[in-house]
């Protein structure tokens, strides 16, 4: 223990001191019994009553030696003699570790124990009340910010760009677009939801025509023969402009207008072709792949990641940033709601309990095996020292009790024998 004491923690150093003190007491009591025995054995001829002292001392010595042997045999070979069934802990430490792990697994990690313990605790209420305090919410956000910033600095930009591109391709590009778009369009047409879009388009077109009448001059009169008088050009332009405005007004006011019917027919045919016409589906898929195969899309993914990472890291690094303040406020508010809402708290408690029971049930053996694996990896001498340091002080009381009980037993036997047996 001397070599280990140089690296002991303060608490273990205190235990070592107490262990040595108890060993001295137990050994000193044995020596005292030996002194009494020698004195009584030498003088009992002159003083017969010393026979009782000798018997008590003799029994105390036997009890002390027997219990010293028993305690010592747990940790080492008594007097260095390799007597069978001694040095039990160093010789059987692997079995002890495995048994301890099995004991913990059976008695501490069972579903009933975990569920019962967690069920008796209002975890959600305690957690909510703690997080609801602004200083605690600030602390949680600060620690989370540090962790996220550390993770962000560890991530390689090129790797993240590839990851983003892979995710986009797997979940966005690879699946067919045409049939889902067609089904969505069919539902919109069935519900009449596209009518609002048509109304909006006609309204915007009418507004543009009203604000740009000169556009019809270049469009119509510029194509008339040059020999026509200029007033004819103006009449044609005004007539075309008026007719376009009237046409748009008719479309706006008449839900059954031919243009609306034509649009409905075209859209209905389009959504059907998107779902069932292979050439149409192939064209859309080809256009989609062409767009996403463009190198600029890859550059966009990299730029998006870099911009998001920079913005997030900068915001998380600043304790006064809007992001962190909002996160703190949201966390504190969520904690207050969790602490105040009993129904919500009960649901969260059930969720936590179920999750813990599931984890324990899944990894119970792995958790318990840590004990056995750890003890197996220990050096036998180190294991002996660790265990003796923890329980050795109490075991010394066995030696003391053995001395006392042996003395009383020796005295009782001698007294009874003297009273009952003739001499």
pLDDT in tens, 177-194: 888 888 998 898 888 888
Report the alpha-carbon distance of residue 244 to residue 216 in Å, rounded.
Answer: 10
Q: What is the mean pLDDT of the chain?
A: 84
Asked whether residue 272 falls in the same domain as residue 301, the answer is yes
What tokens appear for 14 in the block? 């205190």
Which DSSP symbol is given to 171? I
Domain count for the chain, please give it: 3
Can you give the residue range of the structural domain that contains 41?
A: 2-91+380-420
Establish if 136 belongs to a structural domain. Answer: yes
Range with the poorest average pLDDT among 53-57, 213-217, 255-259, 414-418:
213-217
Report the alpha-carbon distance of residue 403 to residue 28 in Å, rounded.
Answer: 11
Distance from CA of residue 107 to its chain's centroid? 24
What tokens appear for 160 in the block? 């993240």
Asked whether residue 350 falls in the same domain as residue 405, the answer is no
Asked whether residue 354 falls in the same domain as residue 244, the answer is no
- First-last CA distance in the chain: 52
What pLDDT, on a 0 to 100 scale, did the predictor assign at position 5? 42
pTM above 0.85, yes or no: no
Report the alpha-carbon distance of residue 157 to residue 313 in Å, rounded.
Answer: 14
Asked whether residue 336 falls in the same domain as residue 360, the answer is yes
Asked whether residue 127 falls in the same domain as residue 29, the answer is no
Q: What percent of the chain has pLDDT over 90?
A: 25
Which residues, 6 or more positions from 107, have their beta carbon under 8 angstroms from its beta carbon?
Answer: 113
What tokens appear for 202 in the block? 């006609």
Q: What dihedral do alpha carbons 170, 171, 175, 180 form, nearest 10°? A: -170
pLDDT of 221 over the 60 cut = no
What tokens appear for 182 in the block? 């067609």
Predicted confidence band of residue 212 (pLDDT cuts 50, 70, 90): confident
Asked whether residue 235 falls in the same domain as residue 284, the answer is yes
Asked whether residue 32 falls in the same domain as residue 137, the answer is no
Establish if 117 belongs to a structural domain. Answer: no
Report the alpha-carbon distance of residue 101 to residue 378 in Å, rounded.
Answer: 15
More confident of the two residues 227 and 163: 163
Spatial contact of 163 and 304, defined as CB atoms under 8 Å apart: no
Which residues, 6 or more positions from 409, have their beta carbon under 8 angstroms from its beta carbon?
Answer: 59, 63
- Measured CA to CA in angstroms, residue 182 lies from 26, 76, 81, 96, 187 at distances of 92, 82, 90, 68, 9
């Amino acid at each position: 223990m001397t070599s280990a004491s140089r690296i002991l923690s303060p608490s273990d150093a205190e235990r070592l001191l107490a262990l040595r003190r108890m060993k001295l007491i137990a050994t000193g009591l044995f020596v005292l019994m030996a002194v009494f025995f020698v004195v009584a054995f030498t003088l009992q001829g002159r003083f017969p009553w010393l026979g009782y002292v000798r018997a008590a001392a003799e029994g105390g010595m036997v009890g002390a030696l027997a219990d010293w042997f028993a305690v010592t045999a747990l940790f080492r070979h008594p007097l260095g003699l390799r007597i069978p069934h001694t040095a039990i802990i160093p010789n059987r430490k692997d079995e002890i570790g495995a048994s301890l792990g099995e004991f913990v697994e059976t008695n501490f990690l069972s579903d009933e124990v975990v569920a019962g313990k967690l069920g008796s605790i209002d975890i959600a209420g305690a957690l909510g009340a703690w997080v609801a305090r602004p200083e605690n919410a600030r602390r949680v956000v600060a620690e989370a910010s540090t962790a996220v910033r550390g993770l962000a600095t560890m991530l390689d930009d090129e790797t993240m760009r590839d990851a983003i591109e892979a995710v986009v391709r797997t979940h966005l590009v690879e699946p067919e677009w045409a049939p889902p778009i067609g089904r969505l369009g069919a539902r919109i047409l069935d519900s009449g939801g596209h009518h609002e879009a048509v109304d909006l388009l006609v309204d915007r077109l009418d507004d543009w025509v009203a604000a740009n009448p000169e556009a019809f001059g270049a469009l119509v009169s510029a194509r008339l023969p040059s020999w026509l008088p200029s007033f004819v050009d103006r009449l044609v332009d005004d007539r075309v402009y008026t007719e376009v405005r009237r046409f748009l007004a008719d479309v706006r006011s008449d839900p059954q207008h031919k243009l609306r019917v034509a649009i409905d027919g075209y859209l209905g045919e389009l959504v059907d072709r998107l779902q069932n016409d292979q050439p149409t589906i192939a064209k859309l898929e080809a256009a989609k792949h062409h767009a996403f195969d463009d190198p600029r899309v890859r550059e966009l993914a990299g730029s998006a990641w870099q911009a998001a990472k920079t913005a997030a890291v900068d915001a998380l690094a600043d304790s006064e940033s809007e992001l962190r303040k909002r996160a703190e406020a949201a966390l504190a508010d969520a904690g207050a709601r969790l602490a105040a809402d009993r129904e919500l708290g009960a649901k969260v408690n059930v969720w936590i309990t179920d999750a813990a029971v599931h984890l324990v049930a899944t990894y119970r053996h792995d958790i318990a095996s840590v004990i056995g694996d750890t003890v197996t990896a220990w050096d036998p001498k180190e294991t002996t020292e660790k265990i003796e340091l923890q329980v050795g002080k109490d075991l010394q009381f066995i030696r003391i009790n053995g001395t006392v009980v042996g003395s009383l037993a020796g005295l009782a036997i001698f007294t009874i024998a003297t009273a009952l047996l003739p001499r």
